[in-house]
Amino acid sequence: AFGYFPTYTLGNLAASQLFEAAAAALGDLDDQLAAGDLEGLLGWLRTNVHRHASTLDAPALIEQATGAPLTADAFMRHIRADVAEVYG
């Protein structure tokens, strides 16, 4: 059995790339989320992800929503920022 570990990785890559694209489109996404305001993110997800979820496969959906095929780039930026915040 292969297990679930590869799907965890793919989910983390996709989530990072989608979040980065949403943040680029919405501007102050971190501030919105910190204030408990989910409307901007939900609107972006509805328009860019949910609307197409039944018609596109995952790779095409990620590319359409973010403008790029799935890569590790956004995930690595996120991890590096988190590590830098903790360890300087």
How many domains is the chain partitioned into structurally?
Answer: 1
Q: What is the mean pLDDT of residues 8-22?
A: 96
Is 78 inside a domain boundary? Answer: yes
Predicted confidence (pLDDT) at residue 74 exceeds the cutoff of 80: yes
pLDDT band at 77 (very low <50, low <70, confident <90, very high): very high
- The answer to the question of residue 3 being in a domain is no
pLDDT confidence of residue 3: 66
- pLDDT for position 24: 98
CA distance 9 to 62: 15
Is 5 part of any domain? no
Prediction pTM value: 0.89
pLDDT of residue 7: 81
Whether residue 77 lies inside any domain: the answer is: yes
Confirm whether 52 is domain-assigned: yes
